[in-house]
Structure 1
């Protein structure tokens, strides 16, 4: 049996994170990103490997701090899909915050049929008991973000922060623009880009920067 090739690579997790953060800062222009969003920007770049992804990053004033305070107060994180939920690093959550996704509940499919919408949107209706002061992470379905905005307009409780990262060619751009114009606290990635990994990364950024 031949010897394995002499691969040279960093194995220490802490060193990997430190080196990643250093290289991201070297490769990225964060001058247009507010200081309070630097952790979020770095996490997003780290997740997709593209420094230019932050050109579409937008946020309301004080949004990141509002999210951090909500997590510190033990508020839950509401996710539109399980992929977002699974990407959140539970060990970093300050109060062992509950991470919830209602998409798979049995009530969702008949509710979607009754409402004439997607299951992702219908699942938002089940968030009502936990929505007040929560952190919402939407990383897949534009219909979920649109429906959330509709329900809040109709009287649902307001979350502390909405992370708007729905992805795709139908409704993603428009739903995020609606969020930006809603007056609600938000962090969003404009345009078609987004996805579950980026939404989870934004949550993880609120619990600690990449290089700590």
Structure 2
């Protein structure tokens, strides 16, 4: 078996070339292409070319908010928070947080008999400035988020709904797509914290690459 001779700094570039080659004649919306391809790259799973769903104008609208800075990305796992590119966040004057380990969140979840992920959404509703919700693990977070939206307590700029698993995962994604909020969702059971972070990064890279190209 012959190995490809690829320099370390060119591995990602070559990976995306392979993804483009293997997609073949499947045409992706140019506005969404880099996001879908980064999900494929992250999970090595071409199903994302067919399962990603986007609300109307969500990419352009989210980029317009990110461009102005001061936004906060709220994740439901430390893994997703860690996977969000800190250099890109800094360039855009953004922030990424995860409340899962916060004592007040644990106390609120215990009192309400809910999951900590659901309680995290309640804490997210108290944040100032534009909020992006990135869920890669907990469907209960999406269900509670829908309730908070209906109660008028939160109005997220974007909801990334890609929890992975079997219990209420498919249903929670359908709930968010019907909630009226801007969304990027991977329908079905697949997803994960790494995919949630990848979507955040793909959006930010669109802006940071534009900034680099203008210099």
Under a length normalisation based on structure 2, what TM-score does the superposition of the two structures give?
A: 0.88
Separation (CA, whole Å) in 2 of partners of 1:137 and 1:30: 31
Secondary structure of 1:58's counterpart equals strand
Matches within 5 A, 1:145-156: 145-156=142-153
Picking from 163, 187, 190, the partner of 2:184 is 187
Deviation at 1:131, TM superposition (A): 6.3
- Range with bigger deviation, 47-56 or 136-145: 47-56
Structure 1, residues 116-169: CA drift from partner, whole Å, max 9, x if none? 211111111111232653211111000011101111111113111110011110
Where in structure 1 are there 5+ consecutive unaligned residues? Answer: 1-6
Separation (CA, whole Å) in 2 of partners of 1:56 and 1:157: 27
RMSD: 2.0
Contact kept, 8 Å, 2:72 with 2:129, in 1: the verdict is no
Separation (CA, whole Å) in 1 of partners of 2:96 and 2:24: 32
Contact kept, 8 Å, 1:70 with 1:135, in 2: the verdict is no
Picking from 49, 53, 56, the partner of 1:58 is 53
Counterpart residue number, 2:106? 109
Separation (CA, whole Å) in 1 of partners of 2:106 and 2:132: 24
Counterpart residue number, 1:89? 85
- How many residue pairs end up in the alignment? 204
CA distance change for structure 1 residues 110 and 39 in 2, over 3 Å: closer, same or farther? same
The answer to whether 1:42 aligns with 2:37 is yes
Structure 1, residues 79-130: CA drift from partner, whole Å, max 9, x if none? 1111110110111223231111111110112211221211111111111232
Under a length normalisation based on structure 1, what TM-score does the superposition of the two structures give?
A: 0.89
Counterpart residue number, 1:3? none
Separation (CA, whole Å) in 2 of partners of 1:157 and 1:52: 32
Picking from 9, 17, 23, the partner of 1:22 is 17
Separation (CA, whole Å) in 1 of partners of 2:25 and 2:101: 38
Deviation at 1:66, TM superposition (A): 2.0
Secondary structure of 2:196's counterpart equals helix
- Range with bigger deviation, 146-155 or 29-38: 29-38
Where in structure 2 are there 5+ consecutive unaligned residues? Answer: 210-215
Deviation at 1:199, TM superposition (A): 0.4
CA distance change for structure 1 residues 20 and 158 in 2, over 3 Å: closer, same or farther? same
Contact kept, 8 Å, 1:70 with 1:134, in 2: the verdict is no
Picking from 127, 130, 135, the partner of 2:132 is 135
Separation (CA, whole Å) in 2 of partners of 1:155 and 1:149: 10
Counterpart residue number, 1:123? 120
CA distance change for structure 1 residues 55 and 141 in 2, over 3 Å: closer, same or farther? same
Separation (CA, whole Å) in 2 of partners of 1:30 and 1:196: 29
Separation (CA, whole Å) in 2 of partners of 1:12 and 1:85: 25
Separation (CA, whole Å) in 1 of partners of 2:37 and 2:61: 19
The answer to whether 1:77 aligns with 2:73 is yes
